[in-house]
Amino acid sequence: MPAQLISGTQLSQQLRADVARRAAALTAAGTPPGLAVILVGEDPASQVYVRNKVKACADTGIVSTLERYAATLSEADLLVRIAALNADPSVHGILVQMPLPRHIDPAKVIDAISTRKDVDGFSVQSAGELMAGLPGFRPCTPFGCMKMIESTGVPIKGKHAVVIGRSNTVGKPMALLLLQANATVTICHSSTPDLAYHTRQADIVVAAVGKRNTLTADMVKPGAIVIDVGMNRDDDGKLCGDVDFAGVQDIAGWITPVPGGVGPMTITMLLVNTLESAEGK
């Protein structure tokens, strides 16, 4: 029997409806949730991402302000602007779109954002809160992946989860979130000698390496939950993930498609984080 699809599009619609309801309540109470988005330079992909985020805010009642700056903006001026947004009570979330021009240190910029407004969850302090199990904002992509796993109704507690990838934005926080949910977690990466050995034992696999066909049917335990974070192109130029979807869907119990899987959830969790910041959570 083919795996059941975990539709990020459908789950996003449900979550965004809840965001819109709560945002309307905040607005009626005089505290409209606000997200400040900063775009430096003219990177085409960044412009698309920012446009999608601003539209998602408008659709759910979150007030977004987009600030565009030339690629020549100095690091010092950017840090001054972030400090002003940190002090602005009408701004509940700050997002600086990556990548930044080469003369600006992204780590310095991210860590300049107040932890209480770090709705991307990328700062060192946010990462520390996650590792320590403290409340805080979780990076949007792994946060969305957790919501997708939870949507299956399969308890995470006691399951063996394998995360393929160790990036600071997805792999590492994904492993920590699964660990907090009482899964037994294995992290695999480019230096893992026998990836299939680990994935065949996994009840949950999260593939996040950016390389198509990283996970094939012979590497999957029957009935496993497979979350595909990858975003690649096949030989025909079509979007595909890290998972050989055609083969794995006949083995897995649950699987996310690409497109329409993890992608929509990333922006949705940005909205959720911004809303919760406005709510004071």
In this prediction, residue 56 carries a pLDDT of 97
Convert the pLDDT of each residue in 182-195 to its tens digit. 999 999 999 999 99
Residues 144 and 108 in one domain: no
**Whole-structure pTM value:** 0.95
Asked which of 97, 114, 131 is the last residue of a domain, the reply is 114
CATH number, domain at 83?
Answer: 3.40.50.10860
Q: Which of 117, 118, 120, 172 is catalytic?
A: 120
Cα separation, 58 vs 273, whole angstroms: 15
Asked which of 114, 130, 153 is the last residue of a domain, the reply is 114
Decide: helix, strand or coil at residue 67.
strand
Convert the pLDDT of each residue in 49-82 to its tens digit. 999 999 999 999 999 999 999 999 999 999 999 9
Residue 86 lies in a domain: yes
Cα separation, 83 vs 175, whole angstroms: 32
Residue 181 lies in a domain: yes
Cα separation, 5 vs 207, whole angstroms: 16
Element (H, E) at 60: helix 44-60
Whether residue 179 contacts residue 204, with contact meaning beta carbons closer than 8 Å, is answered with no
Q: Which of 10, 14, 47, 53 is catalytic?
A: 53
Q: Which of 47, 59, 77, 97 is catalytic?
A: 97
Element (H, E) at 226: strand 225-228
For residue 103, pLDDT over 90 is answered with yes
Domain range for residue 177?
Answer: 139-263
Q: Verify whether residue 97 is a known catalytic residue.
A: yes
Q: Verify whether residue 234 is a known catalytic residue.
A: no
CATH number, domain at 212?
Answer: 3.40.50.720
Q: Verify whether residue 147 is a known catalytic residue.
A: no
Residue 230 lies in a domain: yes
In this prediction, residue 32 carries a pLDDT of 97
